[in-house]
């Protein structure tokens, strides 16, 4: 797939050193897929593997093989939002592609007296091409939650969510996409009678391939507008994210990125991918030590495995 880069060996050694010295406890934000995390949480404008069921479901219409994928967060599972991600995609139904995914998350521990929240997302995805190099897709998602404030009783909640995605491959080098996350359906309803509004999250993205071995990505998280109680709208704050993937050999990729967590705050990411035949293993590291106000919190590690059929 790719030829070795001139400085491939040095780059691989540098990544290995970072991995070995940085495996410490810490705190992080959230991202699905080890490849995507290593690239700074960018994938909306790329969507070229089965993780598109979360990032941009329109992308699964352009896949050629059925595949199964799982990503697991290795540490910080009490603080990182997404612990486990499981996805299956089957693109072989004429012009229709289907996908199914599961996300599990938890914050805190149910056995402690402090705050605790856990959630599970069950998602069905569908996508189809509508023109040359243009596809659309949608996610229908059912979410269940359990939550307990400190020293209070556990409450349960659930909601239905809808995501809409579009992906356009302009040419062999450039692709653009947009995800409307939580574009509709229902609020989060708790069994104590309370309710939470989930507003739309507009997430545009661009992917650019200057050569067959290099991928550059740029996403914006939360481009939408927030409806205030007064009925007016205000900007919710942009979180830019950048990613780079470079194939060093036909089977080894190096990845780097900047992961925007909140406006003006972000973290450096890196990782590697080992792909051979139908199998792939991806590793990602998120360093939050550079985030203002989060000094010394360390980072988060993820590993993902993919099998194609």
CATH of the domain at 53: 2.40.160.60
C-alpha triplet 203, 55, 30: angle, nearest 5°: 85
Q: Which residues contact 133 (CB under 8 A, 6 or more apart)?
A: 168, 169, 170
Q: Return the pLDDT at 199.
A: 84
**Which of the 8 DSSP states describes residue 152?**
S
In-domain check, residue 83: yes
In-domain check, residue 2: no
> 60 near 53, Cβ under 8 Å?
yes
Count how many domains the chain has: 1
Cα–Cα distance measured from residue 50 to residue 36, given in angstroms and rounded to the nearest whole number: 11
In-domain check, residue 146: yes
User: Which residues of the chain, if any, have pLDDT below 70?
Assistant: 1-30, 110-114, 224-237, 289-298
In-domain check, residue 302: yes
> 88 near 105, Cβ under 8 Å?
no
Q: Return the pLDDT at 153.
A: 80
Centroid of chain to Cα 302: 12
Q: Return the pLDDT at 222.
A: 82
In-domain check, residue 1: no
Its domain, for residue 27, covers 8-308
Q: Return the pLDDT at 27.
A: 35
The pTM for the full model equals 0.83
> 57 near 138, Cβ under 8 Å?
yes
Q: Return the pLDDT at 260.
A: 85
Following DSSP, what letter does each residue of 13-53 receive, concatenated? HHHHHHHHH----------S-HHHHHTTS--TTT--STTHH
In-domain check, residue 173: yes
In-domain check, residue 3: no
Q: Return the pLDDT at 295.
A: 44
- For 62-106, the pLDDT digits (tens) are 999 999 999 999 887 777 778 899 999 998 777 899 999 999 988
Q: Which residues contact 36 (CB under 8 A, 6 or more apart)?
A: 42, 43, 51, 55, 243, 284
- For 238-279, the pLDDT digits (tens) are 789 999 999 999 999 999 999 887 777 788 999 999 999 999
């Amino acid at each position: 797939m790719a030829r070795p880069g001139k400085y491939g060996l040095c780059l691989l050694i540098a990544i290995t050193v970072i991995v070995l010295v940085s495996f410490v406890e810490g705190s992080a934000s959230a991202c699905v897929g080890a490849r995507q995390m290593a690239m700074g949480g960018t994938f909306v404008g790329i969507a070229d593997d089965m993780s598109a069921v979360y990032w941009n479901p329109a992308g699964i219409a352009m896949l050629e093989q059925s595949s199964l994928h799982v990503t697991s967060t290795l540490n910080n599972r009490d603080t990182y939002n997404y612990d486990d991600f499981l996805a299956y995609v089957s693109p072989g139904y004429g012009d229709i592609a289907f996908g199914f995914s599961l996300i599990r998350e938890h914050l805190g521990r149910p056995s402690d007296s402090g705050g605790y929240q856990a959630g599970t997302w069950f998602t069905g995805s569908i996508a189809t091409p509508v023109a040359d190099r243009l596809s659309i897709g949608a996610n229908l998602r059912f979410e269940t939650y359990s939550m307990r404030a400190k020293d209070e009783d556990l409450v349960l909640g659930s909601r239905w969510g809808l995501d809409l995605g579009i992906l356009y491959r302009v040419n062999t080098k450039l692709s653009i996409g947009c995800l409307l996350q939580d574009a509709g359906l229902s609020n989060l309803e708790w069994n104590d009678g309370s309710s939470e509004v989930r507003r739309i999250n507009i997430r545009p993205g661009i992917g650019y391939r200057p050569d067959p071995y290099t991928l550059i990505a740029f996403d914006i998280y939360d481009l939408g507008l927030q409806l205030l109680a007064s009925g007016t709208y205000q900007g919710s704050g942009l979180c830019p994210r950048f990613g780079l993937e470079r194939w060093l050999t036909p089977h080894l990729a190096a990845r780097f990125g900047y992961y925007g967590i909140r406006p003006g705050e972000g973290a450096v990411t890196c990782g590697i991918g080992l792909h051979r035949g139908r199998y792939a293993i991806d590793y990602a590291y998120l360093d939050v030590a550079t985030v203002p106000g989060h000094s010394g919190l360390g980072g988060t590690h993820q590993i993902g495995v993919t099998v194609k059929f």
